[in-house]
Amino acid sequence: MSEAGPDLQVRVAVIYYSATGNVRGMARAVAEGAEGEGAEVRLRPVAELSEELRISADQYWGRHRSEVDEGPVARIEDLEWADGLAFGTPTRFGNVAAQLKVFLDLAGELWQQGKLIDKVATSFTSSQTSHGGQESTILALNNTLYHWGAIVLPLGYTVHEVFNGGGNPYGASFTSGHSVDGPDEETRLVARAQGARLARVAQAIRAARESGLLPAGKTALP
Ligand SMILES: Cc1cc2nc3c(=O)[nH]c(=O)nc-3n(C[C@H](O)[C@H](O)[C@H](O)COP(=O)(O)O)c2cc1C
């Protein structure tokens, strides 16, 4: 740390699952928001688990799959690397998509080592209908984050646009209908604001740790 403050750029990982592209569009906006605050960002989809044959039989799922096929997927190391974590999932029967859940379940070792303590973490979602389970999905996702000892960061009504872009203070939420074209501009704006807030708060926590104000996370496991 220098007199001017922490030397290191805050690190944000935006980790998501998206079958047809809506959550991917939101994830990009969250990443843009974090980058706008000077964060180093890793934008990563989790690995696909469904059979390729099943995916390609679905026009929109297959198209999206071929678009993201080449890039890097999220790794558990990304959780350790990041100061701030944003998780995105489509609403699946009011819950987290299995692909993202499997990724989260692989974090047991990091959890055991106390390495997820004080990560600042936030969640976002897309669902077909406005009452189709956006809140329940985000709350279900956040349950994992509480177990990690993460600092769960809600969106709140921190920017006025939340009132227009879904109105959900739990986290940016897109009501997609049958669209697979990604979120509208209002939702993108809210997602960007969520990413920016994540980067700012993660930076503050990082600075507190570097200055000794906040001790390094330690597990209390027996
Ligand atoms: C198996 C399955 C379950 C779903 N469950 C819900 C649901 O409970 N509520 C809802 O509103 N939409 C539900 N949807 C719709 C998706 O959440 C919605 O299309 C979302 O925008 C897809 O995001 P993506 O394009 O990133 O995959 C479901 C879709 C699938 C395939």
Residue 190 sits in a domain whose CATH number is 3.40.50.360
Domain count, the chain: 1
Q: Which residue has the higher pLDDT, 4 or 193?
A: 193
pLDDT at residue 215 is higher than 90 = no
pLDDT in tens, 62-111: 999 988 877 899 999 999 999 999 999 999 999 999 999 999 999 999 99
In the chain, what percentage of residues exceed pLDDT 90? 82
Question: Is residue 216 one of the residues assigned to a domain?
Answer: no
Question: Is residue 131 one of the residues assigned to a domain?
Answer: yes
Question: Is residue 4 one of the residues assigned to a domain?
Answer: no
Beta pairing, strands 120-127 & 151-152: parallel
**Within 10 Å of residue 185's Cβ, how many Cβ atoms?**
11
Check pocket membership of 203 for ligand 1, CB cut-off 6 A: no
Q: What confidence tier does 3 reach under pLDDT thresholds 50, 70, 90? A: low
Check pocket membership of 133 for ligand 1, CB cut-off 6 A: yes
Q: Are 20 and 183 in contact (CB under 8 A)?
A: no
| E-assigned strand segments in 46-137 | 84-90, 120-127
Across the range 160-188, mean pLDDT stands at 90
For a pocket test of ligand 1, which of 60, 91, 137, 181 has the largest count of ligand atoms closer than 8 A to its C-beta? 91
Question: Is residue 222 one of the residues assigned to a domain?
Answer: no
Query: Please, what is the Cα angle at 123 between 120 and 125, to 5 degrees?
Result: 170
Question: Is residue 5 one of the residues assigned to a domain?
Answer: no
Residue of minimum CA distance from atom 8 in ligand 1: 93
Q: How far, in Å, from the CA of 92 to the mean position of ligand 1?
A: 5
* Domain around 100: 11-210
The residues, ordered by sequence, that sit 6+ positions from 149 with a Cβ below 8 Å of its Cβ are 114, 116, 117, 118, 217
How far apart CA 65 and CA 94 sit, in angstroms, is 23
pLDDT at residue 167 is higher than 90 = no
Residue 42 pairs in a beta bridge with 13
Question: Is residue 57 one of the residues assigned to a domain?
Answer: yes
Write down the pLDDT at residue 7.
60
pLDDT at residue 221 is higher than 90 = no
Task: Supply the mean pLDDT for the chain.
Answer: 93
Write down the pLDDT at residue 1.
47
pLDDT in tens, 103-141: 999 999 999 999 999 999 999 999 999 999 999 999 999
State the angle between helix axes of 22-36 and 185-210 in degrees (0 to 180), rounded to the nearest 10. Answer: 50
Question: Is residue 218 one of the residues assigned to a domain?
Answer: no
pLDDT at residue 56 is higher than 50 = yes
